[in-house]
Structure 1
Amino acid sequence: MFDYFHKRCIEMASESATKTKKTAPAPERKKVMSPKDIFRIPTTAQIRRLESDWIAKCDPNWGQVLMEVAGRGAAEAAFEVWEQRNETQKGSVAIFCGRGNNGGDGLVVARYLHLWGVPVHVWVVGNTKGRGAQADQAMTTVESSTNRDILKKMGVEVRSFSSDLSSNFFDTSDGKQLSSSVTVIVDALLGTGIDRDVDAVFMHAIEMINGSDATVIAVDLPSGIHSDTGQVMGAAVRAHGTITFGNVKPGLINHPGAEYAGDLRVIDIGLPEAALEKPTIHLTSVELVNDLLPKRPANSHKGSFGYLLTIAGSLGMSGATMLATESSLKVGTGLCVLATPSSLVPHLPPKEVIYRPIAETDETTIAPKALGDLEKDLDKATAVVLGPGLSTNEETVSFVQKFMSKVMDRSTEVPCLIDADGLNCIAENTKVFPEDAKHIVITPHPKELARLLDESTSEIQKDRIASATKAAAEFGCIVVLKGAHSVIADPDGNVFINPTGNPGMSTAGCGDVLSGIIGGLLAQGVEPFDAAVAGVYLHGRAGDIAAHSLGEASVTAGNIVESIPDALLSIHDELVSDLEAMFEPM
């Protein structure tokens, strides 16, 4: 669903189509946001501080201006959808508003749609302290109250959701199903303010919205989704599209929030980006990845592109070793050495890989004395990958822990990627990480990170950004928390969220491919955090290409390896295409 997320952010922030309705002046085209703004992902707290500081600096009424700009932008999107649905079905737009500023945005949407000749039905949803119609329609902010009053003066009826459930806009007397005449729903119930499970009246409204056949557009954020974590707070609106303001919110990219958001459109509402606190969360862009990938000078040789030592494999797990080494070669590594149990080497296929037979246990796993077999390679290596197919044999665990100590004691810090069983071998003794481990990249899936942090997998998944950031700070290393929209974090609190990849990559060996890609970039001299960010993006893009060709269900890890060259080429091609598009006439 999100294999083109980075494209959608740019495309959906483009100028709104000019309306041609005779009942009102056509809305103006909106200015395109620049990619640098779209890819910054501030937290809810950062956005609120920016808004409050800017309002205080400019004018107390500036909040009304922001609401007007946001509401009009959302109205344009709703109008486009309504026009498309109206080609085959004459219908109306139902707008569900909460009592806060998100509801105020919805009221502005209603006003513009009414001016443009669209039949609108407006409901205010939420618990009240008083009784009567006035209390039922009470808003909690000055801005939203003002927009409610304007709408009423224009002759638009604003109903209370709790008291009008039996109106003729519902197909059933209990108000559980909207009339089929409603073709578009605008969700402006809760926005970014929710920090607890939704209460009963909102639950009812959300169930009604989700049960409708109408096209659903969420304002800023699908109601019921936590703005920072993407978690469902009891219940949430499933939108076909979300119009978000200023910047993409973390909850729109983190799962499950990303599944509820649908297509994204980012509306520039005029807040000064320069005044925004330096965000620590970013969405990886194709421009960034192109800059991070190593270049190949004309007068170079194989020694110019690194010496990668991959320590991997055990009986029955040789496939993992080959996926990792082949991936590292596909990203341009000059020399790849695979250190694996000696009795496995004769059975490995002849490849552009140097095989290093090392000491093994009786169970054909790597033995502690294999350390002596690796001395020469460690002297030459520009990076190490440790873990694919390694096993958790007791002696192998001892090898891994001794290896970590040995590598950390060396005068030269060799960048090291640890994955899979490499992580499981150190889960009970994470003290093997040095105090400053920024040259180490770990790539756990949620269960592996749960072991490392001694938490449950559900705790990790509840807030993936916080979990990755916590691990990076605790271990002092670079953390790649794998999964849908993988999270990359460093010890300084910087976070990147990856937009590439698809469900077809939920297949055996996919993580080994990622290890090889990042390891290959490390070997070529890319800084560890940069290698992790670029490697995860490239890995997902290769998976997207494979899925596009084969279908998600048929993708294997080998297909992803085979797609790496096309992924590298496509990054350059898309960058050129995007740059050309920037200079097209408006």
Structure 2
Amino acid sequence: MQLVNQKIVNSSQMSAIEEKSVILGTSTDQLMEKAGLNLAKALKYQAGGSAGLKVLILVGPGNNGADGLVMARYLAKWGAQVTVYLTAKRPEIDFKLISALEYGATSISYKDDLDCSKLYSSLKDCRIVVDSILGTGTSRPLGGRLKDIAININHWRLRRSENQIVAVDLPTGVNPDSGEADPASLAADYTWSLGFPKRGLFQFPGADYRGKLTVLDIGIPDEAIAGIDVGLELLSPGWVGNTLPSRPLNSHKGTYGHTLIVAGSKNYIGAAYLAAQAAIRTGSGLVTVASPECIYPILASKLTEAIHMPLPDNAQGGISPEAVDFIRPNLNRYTALVLGCGLGTSDGTREFVEKMFCERPGLDIPLVLDADGLNNICRVQRWWEYLPSNTVLTPHPGEMARLSGVPVVSILKDKIGFTQARADCWNRIVILKGAHTIISAPNLNTSVSPFANPAMSSGGTGDVLAGIIAALISQGLSGSLAASCGVYVHGQAGAFAADQLGDTGLTATDITNELPKIIKSLRGTAYAADVL
């Protein structure tokens, strides 16, 4: 299992890596040959064998097309019935094409198929279409003949459930950097990225066209990436399992920290429960829940393992500003603080949050600021300056819009870049939640979660994430490591629960219940989720 995170690159970084590979002695042709061989192996494995397999490979004008031709040669050599469809002009003498034909592949040129009749005929008995048209060469909208081909292939895919599209590197029509996608982009069932996954595959709408992602080795020397500033990584289970806090035999509850969760209000009792239960299930030695007195009896009956700190409440059933005097003098007892889950946004609660951080700044406890903690603090000018330096912010796009003053639509155009910019501006760790959650810390690499799971689109899942992260901090991880590991553990627990229950009706409690199993599996035991 890979113990480091996979680098995510943009098109210019990939070009630089390939150029450096050539300098180091690995030629472009060698890279193509390795890519084509591994593409063919992957397809053979995916299809359960190659003998008699009918495959249509769409070949473009550049190196991505050449990768497809090498793939065609190997598949034909192994007994597949391969048709190569040339979608654009290739070199006058194309040795990759000649070699594929020598092994039994057949070819059709776009020049001889103006009405696409030969394309239609090739698709009749075909079950797999390989898209090796553009790869990272996509930078403009699809047009003309290429657009017609893409539309026809997409229609073919929808006719039968067994019809599948495999994209080489990334689907044609998807921008490798921004994730922008032409409406006619090929909708892949599988994308096999070459060398490194591309940034655009983790941004929408491009991610919608990607299908299941696999990264294939193409023989790039390890030294080729050295000196190239690739500050973006895809979280991997091996890295997370290797980073999670250890559990020594000679330990006790004090070994694993004491997490304080300031949360809940009359309308959002469950938020406090979920955050606390997640912290308990993630391994925090002790968990104290500080909540309004009016909901304390309910929480105490649900959370038998937690310590409880009833706080003065206000007329709206939220935490009163006077509660600050109960919390702050005792903060040195705790190793991490969660604040915000289900607090509400009444005037009294807003005053409590502002008094907690702004009237007497200088708190030095690791803080996970979530939900209504964010919604209340964002009304303060330059709010980030009042927070502890070791703060983890966990906004979803709507909360990020309130924190930054930037519309959601602008944030989502480049959520990776936006999260990085805000982490640097606020000098705090920022987690932008959602499909392919982004984790960015000042002066450190930015991480991307591999999970995009609609089953987790339900109330309370964010409260669970806050509790997980705080528990990992309490057990000794830095804020940035806890944020990355917490996002992965949370995502994999959701994936495992969805595998059992489906993508509709999954609850935050379902995710919490899976946390011990997921942490166990990540430390090297039986289960490893297939996440993409």
Residues 382 and 407 of structure 1: CA distance in aligned 2, closer, same or farther (over 3 Å): farther
Q: Of 441, 456, 468, which aligns to 1:490?
A: 441
1:5-51: CA deviation from partner (whole Å, max 9, x where unpaired): xxxxx7xxxxxxxxxxxxxxxxxxxxxxxx25772323332221111
User: Which residues of 2 match residues 135-534 of structure 1 at below 5 A?
Assistant: 137-139=89-91, 145-148=94-97, 158-161=107-110, 164-166=113-115, 168-171=117-120, 179-213=123-157, 214-276=163-225, 277=228, 279-350=230-301, 351-405=304-358, 408-410=361-363, 413-429=364-380, 431-434=382-385, 438-500=389-451, 502-534=453-485
Other structure's SS at 2:377 match: coil
TM-score by length of structure 1 reads 0.81
- Between the aligned partners of 2:170 and 2:375, the Cα distance in structure 1 is 38
Greater Cα offset, 107-116 or 335-344: 107-116
The question of whether the paired residues in 2 share the 8 Å contact of 1:91 and 1:181 is answered with no
Residues 316 and 167 of structure 1: CA distance in aligned 2, closer, same or farther (over 3 Å): closer
Residues 170 and 198 of structure 1: CA distance in aligned 2, closer, same or farther (over 3 Å): closer
- Between the aligned partners of 2:40 and 2:53, the Cα distance in structure 1 is 16
- Between the aligned partners of 1:521 and 1:37, the Cα distance in structure 2 is 19
1:369-392: CA deviation from partner (whole Å, max 9, x where unpaired): 322121332232221111100111
Residues 161 and 556 of structure 1: CA distance in aligned 2, closer, same or farther (over 3 Å): same
1:319-375: CA deviation from partner (whole Å, max 9, x where unpaired): 111111111111222222222222222343332222222233321222333221213
Could you tell me which runs of 5 or more consecutive residues in structure 2 were left unpaired when the two chains were aligned.
Answer: 158-162
Residues 294 and 170 of structure 1: CA distance in aligned 2, closer, same or farther (over 3 Å): closer
- Between the aligned partners of 1:407 and 1:567, the Cα distance in structure 2 is 40
Residues 368 and 167 of structure 1: CA distance in aligned 2, closer, same or farther (over 3 Å): closer
Equivalent residue, structure 2, for 1:31: none
Residues 292 and 71 of structure 1: CA distance in aligned 2, closer, same or farther (over 3 Å): closer
1:203-260: CA deviation from partner (whole Å, max 9, x where unpaired): 2221122122443221111112222343423432122222221122333344544443
The question of whether the paired residues in 2 share the 8 Å contact of 1:255 and 1:484 is answered with no
Q: What's the Cα RMSD here?
A: 3.0
- Between the aligned partners of 1:183 and 1:375, the Cα distance in structure 2 is 65
Q: Of 46, 51, 59, which aligns to 1:97?
A: 59
The question of whether the paired residues in 1 share the 8 Å contact of 2:429 and 2:479 is answered with yes
Residues 406 and 524 of structure 1: CA distance in aligned 2, closer, same or farther (over 3 Å): farther
Residue 40 in structure 1 maps to residue 2 in structure 2: no
Q: Deviation of residue 513 (structure 1)? A: 0.8
Equivalent residue, structure 1, for 2:160: none
The question of whether the paired residues in 2 share the 8 Å contact of 1:85 and 1:183 is answered with no
Residues 308 and 377 of structure 1: CA distance in aligned 2, closer, same or farther (over 3 Å): farther
Greater Cα offset, 216-225 or 102-111: 102-111
Q: Deviation of residue 297 (structure 1)? A: 3.3
Equivalent residue, structure 1, for 2:495: 544
The question of whether the paired residues in 2 share the 8 Å contact of 1:187 and 1:216 is answered with yes
Number of residue pairs matched by the alignment: 520
Residues 49 and 215 of structure 1: CA distance in aligned 2, closer, same or farther (over 3 Å): same
Q: Deviation of residue 191 (structure 1)? A: 0.3
Residues 375 and 218 of structure 1: CA distance in aligned 2, closer, same or farther (over 3 Å): closer
Residue 55 in structure 1 maps to residue 22 in structure 2: yes
- Between the aligned partners of 1:96 and 1:48, the Cα distance in structure 2 is 23
Q: Report the AA paired with residue 180 of structure 1.
A: K
Q: Report the AA paired with residue 190 of structure 2.
A: G
The question of whether the paired residues in 2 share the 8 Å contact of 1:438 and 1:490 is answered with no
The question of whether the paired residues in 1 share the 8 Å contact of 2:357 and 2:387 is answered with no
Residues 302 and 237 of structure 1: CA distance in aligned 2, closer, same or farther (over 3 Å): same
- Between the aligned partners of 1:50 and 1:518, the Cα distance in structure 2 is 35
Equivalent residue, structure 2, for 1:77: 42
- Between the aligned partners of 1:202 and 1:284, the Cα distance in structure 2 is 35
Residues 549 and 243 of structure 1: CA distance in aligned 2, closer, same or farther (over 3 Å): closer
Residues 197 and 394 of structure 1: CA distance in aligned 2, closer, same or farther (over 3 Å): farther
The question of whether the paired residues in 2 share the 8 Å contact of 1:114 and 1:120 is answered with yes
- Between the aligned partners of 1:154 and 1:549, the Cα distance in structure 2 is 45
- Between the aligned partners of 1:576 and 1:407, the Cα distance in structure 2 is 47
Greater Cα offset, 522-531 or 105-114: 105-114
Could you tell me which runs of 5 or more consecutive residues in structure 1 were left unpaired when the two chains were aligned.
Answer: 1-9, 11-34, 127-136, 172-176, 579-586
TM-score by length of structure 2 reads 0.88
- Between the aligned partners of 2:170 and 2:32, the Cα distance in structure 1 is 15
